Chains A and B, each alone.
Chain A
Amino acid sequence: EIQLQESGPGLVKPSQSLSLTCSVTGYTITSGYDWSWIRKFPGNKMEWMGYISYSGSTNYNPSLKSRISITRDTSKNQFFLQLNSVTTEDTATYYCARESGPFDYWGQGVMVTVSS
Chain B
Amino acid sequence: DIQMTQSPPSLSASLGDKVTITCQASQNINKYIAWYQQKPGKAPRQLIRYTSTLVSGTPSRFSGSGSGRDYSFSISNVESEDIASYYCLQYDNLPYTFGAGTKLELK
Contacts and interface: CB of A to CB of B under 8 A. Distances in A.
A95 interface: yes
Interface stretch (A10-18, A83-91, A96-104): A96-104
A48 B95 contact: yes
Contacts of A61: 94-95
A102 B44 contact: no
A48 B94 CA distance: 9
Interface size class of B (residues with CB under 8 A): 20 to 34
Contact of A104 (B55, B87, B101): B55
A59 interface: yes
Interface in A37-87: 44-48, 59, 61-63
Interface string B22-65: 00000000001010100000111110011000010000000000
B95 A62 contact: yes
Contact of B98 (A48, A104, A107, A108): A48
Contact of A95 (B32, B43, B45, B91): B43
Given A44-B85, A44-B101, A108-B42, A101 B94 contact: no
B46 A45 contact: no
Interface residues of A, number: 19
A103 B44 contact: yes
A26 to B, nearest CB: 15
Contact of B97 (A44, A48, A101, A107): A48
Contact of A102 (B1, B34, B43): B34
Interface string B1-13: 1000000000000
Given A44-B100, A59-B94, A107 B43 contact: yes
A35 interface: no
Interface string A103-115: 1101111000000
Interface of A: 44-48, 59, 61-63, 95, 99, 101-104, 106-109
5 contacts: A44-B85, A62-B95, A102-B32, A103-B89, A108-B43
